[in-house]
Chain A
């Protein structure tokens, strides 16, 4: 065993705990009297303390310890929560987060002491009540008393023999019973440390429960070992007690008389049970005991919910295998000849589809994991800006593929900050506009077909279209006449252009010119869309549309020259056949008219440099795939349609990452590769 294996668990659980703490603190800030909340916070802080202690992160432990003092005083009513205390607690939280990040980055907690926070906490304690020393008792609830008096472990003949010989040669035979703190989280790690001490100084003859079970944490809160050592009992008492979270150590020196005693105990056991050999009886007893402890462990697991933590990489492997299966299924689809095979393939198809769905579901993560950090962020932002902001969240349970989840955090932060900073007015402005002092931001998520929609809406002042129009002219992006003729929607779209910020005052939060364009790029990279709706004086709404998954999509396979390409079905609006003469030139751009809409034409064969493309002159009709980018349409000219396929998106690999026009590759039924065109970059 090695401490590193616990590092990931530590980091993950700490983060989870810190997130809980965050949520609870926000709650506490809203309702300082909530006793239940205080108990929750206290419990989380205590857990954190225990975990950091177990991992040997003493600075972190110290901070949580002091924090726990204050929380305990709050919980027991010695202190009353107020804004100052909550603020300091938030600082603690940030400090703890820093510690965890440091652990992730370097494997240790770093050397930052956060003395300021600790002294602030201590000051709170002293100001509130003189009894600072209470915490240690609560931290280690009195477990010692529960330890029942116990005799010597049942021994078999062989053990007795060994021990007897050891005693004869003048060694100490010791029975050591170690009780760990009830709240101890990494029991296996703790017992590992204890076993190290034992193994260094003695030879372990017997352990109850078995060593493997102890390693697997299959024990309640105590375990007993019998060892042979040169060291006296007091030595082990001292050494083991020095390990954190050990609440009790009982060392009994076993004498030759006692050994005789155990053997008789064993014998009586046999007597009661009929003719079983001694060893078996002992074994059975041991088994029964470990089974019992196993049961309690199982019971605990049940309580914490039926979930399993799985390494993301393993899920990716599974996903890849399913993808392979789907590819090979498609291939079978192509070769199926007779009816029997056809039926089997159809059945296989149903199974692979279900399997795919199931695996996709496993990869789904509720957006809550991203959303839950926003209340705190908005609180801090509101404070900095001296605005009253309320964040209303809904649809946190909406699920998205984890690849998408990992990426949407930053864009959302940006949009939320924009809303709080630029969207919402100051208190005075709101009052004079006849609005409530508190500004509202709504963050909603919901599923819409194969998309997940995330909306950020605020009831602030909205986008000043006139000002943006003016800016467009100032920046020389359009002529005055053109700018004047743009619709409101088109004007708002300029906000997504690089380095376009309408706010004169650059704040710490936003408005440095890197803004919505970054959001747009990021969302589009995820295959999503972002739109901004705004009404001057009433507020604005940002709508993000994301695909449910990025791994497997429906696509239209097309032929361009000698090559095959895939176009994601999600972005295709329709497919039309037109005569080559239907194409007109407007401002040097080929366009077609389709139901009174002007649609620009994109010559894929030219852009992609395809060999063997059929020239227009040789074709009576052109096949045009009309694709959608946002609410604009473009027409891709292709040489032929192959059909609709379920394709597995594969990356082109590190070497070719970022190749223009191409979003990825997929493997066709025949084993060949087709490239997936990047509609967003190709469309005009």
Chain B
């Protein structure tokens, strides 16, 4: 994902909520959004890996964004969703509190994160998008996984 170029091209962002904050990911990366389903825990993995789910015959690992962002976990409810990402050979599900909308965002609405912080541990954030006065943190899913690859 290119986070440097300031352009006017419109991109579609899937906006979802974890805790009080709103996050967004490029819709290109999203394969499908599922309701909560049975998750089988996988031993010897970090706590934020909830386990694996069966998505129509395919086994897909699911990570809990709350735990990933050091927030307390919470009981899944009707709004809980698993966003399934597909990047090349890797598939990954992400548990979020709710998916609110798909928002069209212009390049100019997105502020690069490097101007806000230099914290290396935040490099999974590609930028902050402005949306009708709200702020949406845009995530780089690949970075969240590379992180994971090291952690596992």
Bound-state Cα–Cα, A658 to B41, Å:
15
- Contact of A653 with B90 at beta-carbon distance under 8 Å, contacts A671-B38, A673-B53 already known: yes
How does the 8 Å CB contact mask read for A58-83 relative to B, with 1 for contact and 0 for none? 00000000000000000000000000
Question: Which one of B18-26, B57-65, B109-117 is at the A interface?
Answer: B57-65
Chain B interface size band reads 20 to 34
Contact B92 A655 (CB under 8 A): yes
> What residues on B are CB-neighbors of A323 within 8 Å?
57
Which residues of B come within 8 Å of A, CB atoms? 37-45, 49, 51-54, 57-61, 89-92, 145, 148-149, 152
Question: Which one of A193-201, A400-408, A440-448, A660-668 is at the B interface?
Answer: A660-668
- Contact of A661 with B44 at beta-carbon distance under 8 Å, contacts A650-B59, A651-B59 already known: yes
> What residues on A are CB-neighbors of B148 within 8 Å?
655
> What residues on B are CB-neighbors of A306 within 8 Å?
none
- Which residues of A, 650-684, contact B by the 8 Å Cβ criterion? 650-656, 658-662, 665, 667, 671-675
Residue of A whose beta carbon sits closest to that of B92 = A655
- Residue in contact with B38 in the complex, picked from A658, A662, A673, CB distance below 8 Å: A673
Q: Check if A607 is an interface residue, CB within 8 A of chain B.
A: yes
- Residue in contact with B42 in the complex, picked from A320, A327, A651, A656, CB distance below 8 Å: A656
- Residue in contact with A671 in the complex, picked from B41, B54, B89, B145, CB distance below 8 Å: B54
> What residues on A are CB-neighbors of B90 within 8 Å?
653-655
Bound-state Cα–Cα, A667 to B53, Å:
9
Residue of A whose beta carbon sits closest to that of B63 = A655
- Which residues of A, 617-671, contact B by the 8 Å Cβ criterion? 650-656, 658-662, 665, 667, 671
- Residue in contact with B52 in the complex, picked from A564, A658, A673, CB distance below 8 Å: A673
3 closest A-B pairs by CB: A673-B40, A608-B43, A672-B38
Contact B89 A654 (CB under 8 A): yes
Contact B38 A659 (CB under 8 A): no
Contact A652 B52 (CB under 8 A): yes
Contacts A/B (CB < 8 Å), 25 sampled = A320-B57, A323-B57, A563-B40, A564-B40, A610-B43, A650-B58, A650-B59, A651-B59, A652-B61, A653-B59, A653-B60, A653-B61, A654-B89, A654-B90, A655-B91, A656-B61, A659-B43, A659-B152, A660-B43, A660-B44, A667-B54, A667-B59, A672-B38, A673-B54, A675-B52
Bound-state Cα–Cα, A545 to B91, Å:
34
Q: Check if A609 is an interface residue, CB within 8 A of chain B.
A: yes
Bound-state Cα–Cα, A655 to B92, Å:
8
Count A-side interface residues using an 8 Å CB cutoff: 29
Contact A661 B59 (CB under 8 A): no
> What residues on A are CB-neighbors of B40 within 8 Å?
563-564, 665, 672-675
Of the candidates B38, B40, B149, the one having the most CB atoms from chain A within 10 angstroms of its own CB is B40
Bound-state Cα–Cα, A563 to B149, Å:
25
Residue of A whose beta carbon sits closest to that of B58 = A650
> What residues on B are CB-neighbors of A655 within 8 Å?
61, 90-92, 145, 148-149, 152
Residue of B whose beta carbon sits closest to that of A655 = B61
Contact A327 B61 (CB under 8 A): no
> What residues on A are CB-neighbors of B43 within 8 Å?
607-610, 659-662, 675
> What residues on A are CB-neighbors of B89 within 8 Å?
654
> What residues on A are CB-neighbors of B57 within 8 Å?
320, 323-324, 327, 650, 667
- Which residues of A, 352-370, contact B by the 8 Å Cβ criterion? none
Bound-state Cα–Cα, A466 to B1, Å:
63
> What residues on A are CB-neighbors of B149 within 8 Å?
655
Residue of B whose beta carbon sits closest to that of A607 = B43
- Contact of A675 with B42 at beta-carbon distance under 8 Å, contacts A324-B57, A653-B59, A659-B152 already known: yes
B138, chain A: closest CB distance, angstroms: 22
Contact A656 B152 (CB under 8 A): yes
Bound-state Cα–Cα, A653 to B59, Å:
7
Bound-state Cα–Cα, A671 to B52, Å:
12
B124, chain A: closest CB distance, angstroms: 15
B121, chain A: closest CB distance, angstroms: 20
Bound-state Cα–Cα, A661 to B145, Å:
22
Bound-state Cα–Cα, A410 to B60, Å:
31
Bound-state Cα–Cα, A659 to B40, Å:
14
Bound-state Cα–Cα, A654 to B89, Å:
7
Bound-state Cα–Cα, A420 to B149, Å:
42
Bound-state Cα–Cα, A659 to B42, Å:
8
B93, chain A: closest CB distance, angstroms: 10
Bound-state Cα–Cα, A576 to B4, Å:
64
- Which residues of A, 568-613, contact B by the 8 Å Cβ criterion? 607-610
Residue of A whose beta carbon sits closest to that of B60 = A653
Of the candidates A327, A667, A674, the one having the most CB atoms from chain B within 10 angstroms of its own CB is A667
> What residues on B are CB-neighbors of A651 within 8 Å?
59
Bound-state Cα–Cα, A350 to B37, Å:
31
Bound-state Cα–Cα, A654 to B52, Å:
12
- Residue in contact with B59 in the complex, picked from A563, A564, A660, A673, CB distance below 8 Å: A673
B63, chain A: closest CB distance, angstroms: 9
> What residues on B are CB-neighbors of A671 within 8 Å?
37-38, 54
A561, chain B: closest CB distance, angstroms: 10
Bound-state Cα–Cα, A439 to B150, Å:
50
Bound-state Cα–Cα, A232 to B152, Å:
72
- Residue in contact with A652 in the complex, picked from B41, B42, B145, CB distance below 8 Å: B42
> What residues on B are CB-neighbors of A652 within 8 Å?
42, 52, 59, 61
> What residues on B are CB-neighbors of A675 within 8 Å?
40, 42-43, 52
> What residues on B are CB-neighbors of A673 within 8 Å?
38-40, 51-54, 59
Known: A564-B40, A662-B42, A673-B51. 13 other contacts (CB 8 A): A608-B43, A654-B89, A655-B149, A656-B42, A656-B52, A659-B43, A659-B152, A660-B44, A661-B44, A662-B44, A673-B53, A675-B40, A675-B52
A646, chain B: closest CB distance, angstroms: 15
Residue of B whose beta carbon sits closest to that of A648 = B57
> What residues on B are CB-neighbors of A324 within 8 Å?
57
> What residues on B are CB-neighbors of A564 within 8 Å?
40
- Residue in contact with B44 in the complex, picked from A563, A650, A659, A667, CB distance below 8 Å: A659
